[in-house]
Structure 1
């Protein structure tokens, strides 16, 4: 055991999950970080011994989310009894539901009672799934947890959005609630102070992936090993200090369409992924020099790129109301065709400038006129098709263009499902990790 705890080149992890799909969610995050990962489907039999591999993870499903508190405690006690006979993993992770369903307090308390870990750090947020915590409360998108369907779950209802309320209903554990407003060292100092004060649980507000990453780094700096409690979100930033999985190369999306479905696709993607929407005010294209506008929007794109956010360029009419476009065209003495051509031409100029400045993982072009204008600005004469995403989005390369290795995706503006852009981003993120 001492050899394992002191081994700088080994990272062993035991994850205790309360349902099978949750076990798989965390397991997949570990696989992506290079862990040899196995899922123990039930409590029958003896836990397998962790091997001597550099990074080894064992995920145990206690199937205890909807059982009685007494049964949940007994199952955790069983796992911990077997766990204490194994080589001690470097990390112990309690996977909980991001919407706080189940016996989360009972199980946290049981693990602390049957281990030598002094404190639990609780961060259930999963920003990629729209699950955030602020002021100690769980939010799903723009709504408090108790205002969502999860509150009336038939098997595991939730009667409070506040994490501390749920813990207090199930346990007598002391707690602090903290936000991550300071530096990395500040966060580490607060966690160290909580331990010194004898606090048993620290509940952490998380609004985005950057804060999850910040928390993971602070935990790795601690002078002690805590019990880490979270959804799949925290697990992706916690265990491997040398690998930064948040550094997915950003994608640049250009949505020239103002259709309702295009707007829905952007809204859903922005709720689930780190996405910065840069809105192009169409009226400015006829009032200001394009060079100045390219510089203005490029600053916004660069700022988002440096934060490792995917960028979506979206056009906005002067009144954001499609019915008023005709009035705008009349004032500017333009036909609708001329308006569309000008918008596409500006987007093409902005994009061609950007791909010279940044290395994007891909270029997503929504709207036929926009797609053609951008590809022409890249001096392409043909599109080498490779496949499709979600059945609606062809992807490939422009082999004779100025950027032959840039992955290109195209889609009709008013086509697809609400999650089409989200699926495109997930496709790009997987391609980046290959």
Structure 2
């Protein structure tokens, strides 16, 4: 059985919380609950799964988390991955863990998100958020330490009880990984061509795209109104940015599916594909027929990298990364080796 199971409400969260464990054994991610059985059959040391429950009703979110817990082998340490800015159906999903005590630590100190006096604040958080208020009735069984540094999270983990459920984001995962043997792999370069598929409209991601445009004037930019990727796109461009932009009113799920089909049509079956936005990542992998991924490591902090055939797939949550994140990925890519069969 896996030593650790991470349960996230979207795919980018499942990937970025599982990625720190690379090098400590086989790390496998299921992109939806029905793929979890296949992920477990490869005997991972760490397994993560997306319940795809960020945008559904609280009752449906609870049902999906319960369905995942029913599939988990008894004795597996549980980690409920939550959004580092406390979005989603957090209180509803924690109901699935019944009366188990909770260690709740959403902070990511390396990204400037901290918990001070019980309130989440810092980079990307518009106003301080009282963590206990997001937990609802579960706050009475939760330990919510103040976290302003990695040392604070390590101290919280040192006091972890055997039945305590970990509840947090990448910062908590990274601290837990520090107690395990094995070195994280170094991913020094990426194969070309490089495609950025962006569904997130988070200001952090928008700034990253602007920096990429300024740095690389030869960038092929494709705008997809309401997710519609136009025909006649050059599929052999060294670097492509395809982005959802506003269009005629359409349901969010349909926009993501439409966009994913367009991305699948234009992206190479080799090279590197970065997908930004949890719902976008799920839809793109569905369109590509991929539902179980093995994580190779992190190409940059918070950016997990998976190998699927000759293709690398990188996921980035909308609110993650410095302004030069996309530029750094471009600089790591071997654009003259687009025919690389590594």
What TM-score do the two structures reach when normalised by structure 2?
0.50
After TM superposition, list the pairs within 5 Å mapping 1:133-144 onto structure 2.
Answer: 133-141=115-123
Answer yes or no: is the 8 Å Cα contact 1:119–1:226 preserved in 2.
yes
- Say if 2:22 is the partner of 1:40: no
Q: What value does the CA root-mean-square deviation take over the aligned residues?
A: 3.3
Does structure 2 conserve the Cα–Cα contact (< 8 Å) formed by 1:237 and 1:245? no
State how far apart, in whole Å, the 2-side matches of 1:133 and 1:69 are: 25
- State the alpha-carbon separation in 1 of the partners of residues 80 and 4 from structure 2: 11
Of structures 1 and 2, the larger Rg is shown by: 1
Q: Which residue of 2 aligns with 1:61?
A: 50
- What is the total number of aligned residue pairs between the two structures? 194
Q: What SS does structure 2 have at the residue aligned with 1:237?
A: helix
Compared CA separation, residues 213 and 27, structure 1 to 2 (3 A): same
Deviations 1:170-192 (A, max 9, x none): xx2243xxxxxxxxxxxxxxxxx
Q: Which residue number in structure 2 is paired with residue 70 of structure 1?
A: 59
In the alignment, what sits opposite 2:138?
173
User: Does residue 95 in structure 1 map to residue 81 in structure 2?
Assistant: yes
Query: Does the Cα contact within 8 Å between 2:24 and 2:180 map onto a contact in 1?
Result: no
Q: Following TM superposition, by how much is the alpha carbon of 1:49 offset from its aligned partner in structure 2, in angstroms?
A: 7.0
Give 1 or 2: higher strand fraction: 2
Provide the rounded CA distance (Å) in 1 between the counterparts of 2:6 and 2:75: 10
CA distance in 1 between partners of 2:30 and 2:163 (Å): 24
User: C-alpha distance in 2, partners of 1:49/1:19?
Assistant: 16
- Secondary structure in 2 matching 1:122: strand
Gaps of 5+ in 2: 185-299, 301-321, 333-342
Q: 1:105 to 1:418 in 2, by over 3 A?
A: closer
* Contact 2:29–2:39, Cα closer than 8 Å, also in 1: no
Q: Is 2:98 the counterpart of 1:126? A: no
1:212 equivalent in alignment to 2:177: no
Point out the more displaced range, 225-234 or 42-51: 42-51
- Runs (4+) off by over 6 Å: none
Q: Distance in 2 between matches of 1:164 and 1:245?
A: 35
Deviation by residue 1:290-348 (Cα, 9 ceiling, x = unmatched): xxxxxxxxxxxxxxxxxxxxxxxxxxxxxxxxxxxxxxxxxxxxxxxxxxxxxxxxxxx
Tell me the equivalent position of 1:202.
Answer: 143
Contact 1:50–1:56 under 8 Å retained in 2 = no
SS at match of 1:35: coil
- Structure with bigger helix share is 1
Unpaired runs of 5+ in structure 1? 5-10, 148-159, 176-199, 247-389, 391-416, 428-434
Cα separation, partners in 2 of 1:63 and 1:34, compared to 1, 3 Å: same
1:240 Cα offset (Å) = 5.8
Separation (CA, whole Å) in 1 of partners of 2:36 and 2:84: 29
Match of 2:241 in 1: none
Alignment-derived partner of residue 22 in structure 1: 13
C-alpha contact (below 8 Å) 1:94/1:227 kept by paired residues: yes
Secondary structure of 2:159's counterpart equals: helix
Aligned mates of 1:41, 1:133 — CA distance in 2:
30
**Secondary structure at the counterpart of residue 144 of structure 2:** strand
Classify the secondary structure of the residue corresponding to 1:100: coil
Quote how far apart the aligned CAs of 1:226 are: 0.7
Aligned mates of 2:328, 2:115 — CA distance in 1: 25
Is the contact between residue 105 and residue 166 of structure 1 (CA under 8 Å) also seen in structure 2? yes
* SS across alignment from 1:204: coil
Instruction: Report how far residue 128 of structure 1 moved.
Output: 1.6
- CA shift at 1:29, angstroms? 0.9
2:24–2:182: 8 Å Cα contact kept in structure 1? no
